Amino acid sequence: MTLLVVSPHLDDAVLSVPVRLRRRASTGDRVILATVFSEGADGARRRREDHAAARRLGVEPMHLGLPDAPERRGLPRSARALLRATTEPDVPNVAGLLQALVHAVKPTEIWLPLGVGEHVDHRVVHAAGLSLAPSLAFYEDRPYANVRHSTAARLRRLGVVSVHRPPTSELVASALRAPFASAYLPAGEDGAALLREIAELPEAPPAWTSRGDVIEPDKAEIEGVLPAVSAYASQLPDLFGGRDLRSVLADADGVYRERLHDLWPLGQP
């Protein structure tokens, strides 16, 4: 079997589901880790890091060569710009690129980002991948998914039914405690106000049902993937603030979990 895992940037998929990637590779499946936006600031170093991480997990890295949002769209590297940017200019191009990749490697299964955190590049890859076949699953984007209620907020924006509306105050408070918030929030701007604005983005009308598949790896499995996560040394300070990876990979409840979501249109069994 061939599993295609699509990552927006050079670290997203490995940070999100490293144990699942390692498990699948260890069974003998071919696991392709394809990064869409593999060009950008310090791109050569980040590609070397991605090769190192992939080697430690036993998966095949593939870099599709598009520049990330600041270079591609001329956006500043700030939370407001990246979280509020529209996806429309990019989705058709990325969809065509992914369709060509699927035709070339013929995967039996595809994993895509859910888009938790609302970064425009993550939303672009999510939207572009919806038309792909065969079987699709969506992983929760870490570290953003470790913010309390952030996955529920994303599911509601996608129009997934039976997801309770998360309390904005708890989501914002949890986000403000995350190390990546201080790295990407604009200097001199009210971070709480911006996060509240993002938390209250419009929700889509009901369109999807969802089923989640969650694993809680044991200590040995978590330890086994830390070398791969640690390979992304250029990104870890901003994302995790130099804290111990064993603790920062855990969610808001202090538990390390990896979730995949199946989405299918309302009315389908």
What's the pLDDT at 269?
62
Does residue 201 carry a pLDDT above 90?
A: no
- Mean per-residue pLDDT, 137-154: 95
Does residue 203 carry a pLDDT above 80?
A: yes
Tell me the pLDDT band of 188, cut-offs 50, 70 and 90: low
Q: Does residue 117 sit in helix, strand or coil?
A: coil
- Mean per-residue pLDDT, 146-165: 94
Per-residue pLDDT of 79-133, as tens digits, reads 888 888 999 999 999 999 999 999 999 999 999 999 999 999 999 999 999 989 7
Rounded-to-integer distance, Cα 18 and Cα 39, Å: 22
Per-residue pLDDT of 62-85, as tens digits, reads 999 999 999 999 988 888 888 889
- The amino acid that residue 155 corresponds to is L
Tell me the pLDDT band of 18, cut-offs 50, 70 and 90: very high
- Mean per-residue pLDDT, 141-154: 94
For the ranges 11-25, 40-54, 191-205, the lowest mean pLDDT is seen at 191-205
Question: In the chain, pLDDT over 70 holds for what percent of residues?
Answer: 98
Q: What 8-state DSSP symbol labels residue 4?
A: E
What's the pLDDT at 133?
79
Tell me the pLDDT band of 141, cut-offs 50, 70 and 90: very high
Strands (E), 191-243: 208-215
| Residues in CB range of 261: below 8 A, 6 or more apart | 114, 137, 138, 139, 140, 155, 210, 211, 212, 213
Assess if CATH 3.40.50.10320 describes domain 2-145+204-265.
yes
Q: What 8-state DSSP symbol labels residue 235?
A: T
Tell me the pLDDT band of 1, cut-offs 50, 70 and 90: very high
Question: In the chain, pLDDT over 90 holds for what percent of residues?
Answer: 73
Rounded-to-integer distance, Cα 45 and Cα 28, Å: 29
Does residue 239 carry a pLDDT above 80?
A: yes
Rounded-to-integer distance, Cα 210 and Cα 161, Å: 8
Q: Does residue 120 sit in helix, strand or coil?
A: helix
Mean model confidence pLDDT for the chain: 92
Residues 161, 206 contacting (CB under 8 angstroms): yes
For the ranges 16-30, 87-101, 171-185, the lowest mean pLDDT is seen at 171-185
What is the domain partition of the chain in residue ranges? 2-145+204-265
What's the pLDDT at 181?
83
Largest CA distance in the chain: 51
Compute CA 88 distance to the chain's CA centroid, rounded to the nearest angstrom.
19
